[in-house]
Structure 1
Amino acid sequence: MSSEWFISIIWLTAAIHIMLTWLLAWYRGRQARRKPQDEFPLKQQPLVSILIPAWNERRVLGQTLEALRQSDYPHWEAIIIAGGPDGTCDAARQRCADWPNFTVIEQPPRGKNAALNLGLQYARGEIIVLLDADTIVASDWLRHLVAPLTHGYTAATANYFPLRQTWVSTYLEMEKIAARYIRHNATLQGCGIALRRQAIEAMGGFPEAVTVGVDWDLSQRLRQRNARLCFASQAHARTALPDTLAAFWRNQIRWRRAHLQATLRHLGPEAARHLLFYAVALAFLAAPGLCFHASLWPLAPLFWAWVLLRRLSLAIECAAFDRSCRWLKHSGGLLILVVVDFIAALIALATFRRRVITFQGTRPGDNRGQRL
């Protein structure tokens, strides 16, 4: 068989596989739409302690606290573990001076988990909630977030929405829809995490050696203990997602590095699936160099097309689930961000031992990280 015939057969096989992937994505989205979302009425009202680590968050912390004050849940306290050279701690103390259920503690620059452990010492609740300092919650957010724990779940995570809608944040919303609603993945995220206190104490608190990607690391440690995690779809919160290409680039390098570190810490059945992404990223960017013979050069664009066009299944899933074509309009941006994510993954592979203390991706005008 000539090389031309061989390559033609591969192209045809790849095209058929892409079409089948799209059809399966449409089917998954359609099936998920038909399945009703779980609803959890609040069976009890235990005392809830909300831990808010805030490092260099003076500019955004105020609106987070004001939104939290509107909560319709009756029994809660907030503990703000604040610090940073921008005066976050002093500003938080001044704002919370007349609010009896708010406590402000000064934290040293030792990372998010160290701040959470410090706040845990002051917490009185049997339910512990973790909240990022740049997240604006709805008045019924806490009630919906805590409700699954009154039905036997160990932890629950809130439903986040971007503060600013752009083509970049739309891609992250598509990722959320696919993970939460279609694949029913309840990996915890800092826009709101509710945990049973006894589960935290059974794990020995929050590991302070983990300074970035702490939510994903927490999810893995809970799953290793067969804990039941839940996505609280009605616990709405708006949070600062990357909304520009530059912000996405910085965030993905940081997150991919943290994800890789956590995957290697928690080797198990899921590790191979997580590491596959880095293998695909390496192959995607190295494809031209792998085609040593001139007759094999067409395989590089074939591989690129196969990877990228299969990834369009994300937009198809969301369109089928939401009955809206608006997701398909962002297909071009989706492909750009996939390539950016691949490059970020390779940088993370090359620098995965680097340790950075930061709570979230850098925002314009902020000095948010301290490298050790």
Structure 2
Amino acid sequence: MKQRDPRAHWFLLAFGCFLLSCILLMNGYVSGAVGQVPRKPVDESGQAPPEVLQGGPVVNTKDGDLRSVHMPRKTIALTFDDGPDPRWTPQILDVLKKHDARGSFFMVGGNIAKHPELVQRVLAEGHEIGNHTYTHADLADAPDWRIRLELNLTQRALAGAAGVKTTLMRLPYSGSPLGTTGAQWEAAKVVGDSGYLVVFTDGDTKDWQHPGVDTMVQSAVDAAKGGRGAIIMLHDAGGDRAEVVQAVDKIITTLQPKGYEFTTLAEALKLPRSEVPASDQEQMIGKTLVFTQGFANWLVNALALLFGVAGVACVLRLVVLIGFAHVHVRRMKQRVHDRPEISPSLTVIVPAYNEEVGIAATLRSLQDHDYPGELEIIVVNDGSSDRTSEIVREMTGPGLRLIDKENGGKPSALNAGIAAARGEIIVMMDGDTVFQRDTLRKLVQQFSDPKVGAISGNAKVANRGGIWGRWQHIEYVIGFNLDRRMFDLMQCMPTIPGAIGAFRKEVLDAVGGLSDDTLAEDTDLTMSISRSGWHVVYEETAIAWTEAPSSLQQLWRQRYRWCYGTIQAMWKHRSSLRESFGRRCLSYLVGFQVLLPLIAPAVDIYTVYGVLFGDPVKSLVTWLVFVLLQAVAGAYALHLDRERVHPLWALPLQQFVYRQLMYLVVIQSLVTAVMGNRLAWQTIRRTGTFSDPNSAVGRHMAAEERRTEEERADRTTTPA
């Protein structure tokens, strides 16, 4: 029973891409690549009120009142911003523990979510935690909603990491109360209205400038001069903090013997602990945030790895294909030089289903040949409902036969033709294809090698005028034909195209003809022949012109059938992985026709993310290098196929549309296969590409034939 193609997976794919985009945006937000508030030059015209400028470093604005306090005498609060950091925070904690000192850590929410174990250690060793925003944003330039978002996200991360919230907050890029700008004070009021004590500093060591350990120590000592209490600002993240670790040790050993106490802000000011328990709901939300950010960070790293692996694999593939193509050209010249010309009896089988538009052109091309041997042409009308049968009957010529049968699909039509064939070599072609005059003669010459069981010809796109045709032309020449040169040398050809292929009749009889187990009967047959010990080779000079789909819908239907059928054939012949054929062929197909398209959408999204929110120059240069390498490979492939290189102008645009379309085809095919749906045979609508010999297609084919004839004349007149 025919089943509908699956549709729900398109929603799942779209949702997956949306979710991936959200995760990347979240990671970008945490890292400051997305949504970062650009820092503006300090506005010297606006300042905080005198009560702040002349007050203490701990400010309370709750209930509309402004109160500030100083640290008690000989009491030092060592404060550390921007952490936790997996390298420097533990070293600072070790120094504090050695001297039985406690400090206050103003943590960035994104780092809290990355390193919850460090948050737990800070609290377990009696230290204090404050809010330092989620992304280290400059709140002086941020709107109120952004300020509250930064505070709330940090609280959620803290609740998820350690089950607590904090009542302390320090604004990034803030310093002493005396240097507080008007914009910073406006942000501080929003922070205070949210229930926080805003903490400034008495002594800024400016450790981020790396002034040296002694200078940093002197800044702290000066802030505590005369027995004053002080809040000392340091950093435990954001760069190399080796000097900070040394400075902390030296500050403590300098001031502790003089009676200074190193403690937390809350203890020094006789306040309740700054950390308060978070509710179960807050902890659950926080754990979700911590997990999501951790997953986002892992995913970004994984995508970066996939991007690198996919890029290297694609580049290596292009290099290998070019290398094999170069060797194949030399081998082909040697084959031509060594082999005798043969002309075995041929039977050309043309399966036809509703081919009235192009069947006459197909047959005329077969009748206009230069093949010197016996030739018969069998058209198998597979239950056509149009005038296909009548057109064939109206045509006359030696060896032309028509077989009418009920519709049974392409494999059954070909098998009917094979059963009626008299020739020792069977040539199969599609009803939308035309051969050049010398195609049959050139196609069969490699049968002079008794080990060759089948030969693939060179299928070319005839209707390449539009953008869809040009993209397919590039794909045929760069993709299919370069691949076939490699498969020929490696003796692992997976597919002889239905448009042009030649087979020994004894080989077809030995493998049981064509099977309808898959929708890619040509791939199934080729794999069976290769596995039976026969060589399958590629003849680049035997050219067949085929009509490619001219619309998105027709292209989708054709490629969907091809891809789904290829997956079926790969599964059917999976046992060949124990053989040299399978290890070479199936491994390549799985890697580049299944796995790479599966991960490609995620890699593309990551690439766009890199352009928009990462290093756009690096991302664009990487993409341009990849396109340039493809263009070089394409130019070489077009040269080997004696084609002009001007279609390569469409290659960059192909990366944005056509490549993604082919990836979606693979995804659709895999989902169909996994769900067990049986895809029905799908035909494409013919447009009569070959009906007018004076068209652009006809002129192009005629020019190709003249070129091959001239080359043949040169070879026969030039002395060896």
- Taking structure 1 as the reference length, what is the TM-score of the superposition? 0.81
The 1:354/1:32 distance shift into structure 2, 3 A limit, reads: same
Residue 275 of structure 1 and its aligned partner are, at CA, apart by 3.0
Indicate which of 542, 564, 579 corresponds to 1:235: 542
Structure 2 partner of 1:282: 598
Partner deviation per Cα, 1:249-271 (whole Å, 9 max, x = no partner) = 22221211111111111103343
Assess, with a 3 A threshold, how the Cα gap between structure 1 residues 354 and 22 changes in structure 2: closer, same or farther.
Answer: same
In structure 1, give the amino acid aligned to 2:377. Answer: A
Find the residue that maps to 2:498 and give its secondary structure. Answer: coil
Does residue 87 (structure 1) correspond to residue 390 (structure 2)? The answer is no
Partner of 1:168: 471
Q: 1:331 aligns with which of 651, 672, 685?
A: 651
Distance in 1 between residues matched to 2:645 and 2:384, nearest whole Å:
44
Q: Specify the code of the residue in structure 1 equivalent to 2:649.
A: K
Alignment match, 2:665? 344
Change (3 A) 1:321 1:91: closer
> How far off is 1:246 after superposition?
3.6
Q: Is 1:266 equivalent to 2:573 in the alignment?
A: yes
The alpha carbon displacement at 1:102 in A equals: 0.6
Q: Distance in 2 between matches of 1:213 and 1:62?
A: 26
Per the alignment, residue 249 of structure 1 pairs with: 556
Partner of 1:369: none
Letter in 2 for 1:85: S
Measured after TM superposition, the shift of residue 25 of structure 1 is 3.2
- Report the counterpart of residue 216 of structure 1 in structure 2: 523
The reply on whether 1:115 has 2:413 as its aligned counterpart is yes
Whichever residue aligns with residue 668 of structure 2, its letter is I
145, 157, 180: which one aligns with 2:484: 180
Q: Distance in 2 between matches of 1:22 and 1:175?
A: 14
C-alpha distance in structure 2 between counterparts of 1:271 and 1:32, whole Å: 20
Residue 353 of structure 2 corresponds to which residue in structure 1? 55
Task: Give the deviation of 1:363 after TM superposition.
Answer: 3.9
The CA RMSD measured in Å over matched residues stands at 3.8
1:161–1:344 CA distance, 2 compared to 1 (3 A): same
Offset at residue 329 of structure 1 (A): 2.2
Shift of 1:79: 0.7
Letter in 1 for 2:666: A
Query: What's the CA shift for 1:285?
Result: 3.6
Query: Identity, % of aligned pairs?
Result: 22
* Mapped pair 1:151 → 2:449: yes
The equivalent residue for 2:70 is none
2:29 is equivalent to residue 29 of structure 1: no
Contact 2:411 2:521 in 1 (8 A): yes
Q: Name the structure 1 match of 2:89.
A: none
Task: Give the 3-state SS of the residue equivalent to 1:78 in structure 2.
Answer: strand
Q: Output the CA distance in 2 between the equivalents of 1:138 and 1:174.
A: 21
Indicate if the aligned counterparts of 1:154 and 1:195 stay in contact, CA closer than 8 A.
yes
Correspondence for 1:137:
435
Q: How many angstroms does 1:217 deviate by?
A: 1.2
* 8 Å Cα contact 2:454/2:536 also seen in 1: yes
Equivalent of residue 189 in structure 1, options 476, 494, 497: 497
Give 1:227's aligned amino acid.
W
Residue 237 (structure 1) shift: 1.6
8 A Cα contact 2:561 2:681, kept in partner: no
Determine which structure has more spread, i.e. the larger CA radius of gyration: 2
Task: Specify the code of the residue in structure 2 equivalent to 1:171.
Answer: I
Distance apart, 1:282 and its partner CA: 3.0
3-state SS, counterpart of residue 356 of structure 1: coil
Paired letter, 1:58:
E
Deviates more, 1:172-181 or 1:195-204: 172-181
2:462–2:548 CA contact under 8 A, matched in 1: yes
The secondary structure found in structure 2 opposite 1:86 is coil
Which is worse superposed, 141-150 or 159-168?
159-168
Deviation at 1:8, TM superposition (A): 9.0
Out of 270-279 and 76-85, give the one that drifted further. Answer: 270-279
> Paired residues, what number?
353
SS in 2 for 1:248: helix
Equivalent position SS for 2:668: helix
Following superposition, the deviation at residue 189 of structure 1 comes to 0.8
Moved more, 260-269 or 331-340: 331-340
Pair 235,9 (structure 1): closer, same or farther in 2 beyond 3 Å: closer
Residues 1:9 and 1:192: Cα distance change in structure 2 (over 3 Å): closer
AA aligned opposite 1:356: A
Shift of 1:29: 2.7
> What are the within-5 Å matches in structure 2 for residues 307-322 of structure 1?
313-322=629-638
Where relative contact order (Cα < 8 A, 6+ residues apart) is larger, the structure is 1
Residue 33 (structure 1) shift: 4.1
Of 26-35 and 347-356, more deviation after overlay is shown by 26-35
In the alignment, the residues of structure 1 paired with residue 384 and residue 302 of structure 2 have an alpha-carbon distance, to the nearest angstrom, of 60
Determine the structure 2 residue equivalent to 1:370: none
In the other structure, the counterpart of 1:105 is: 403
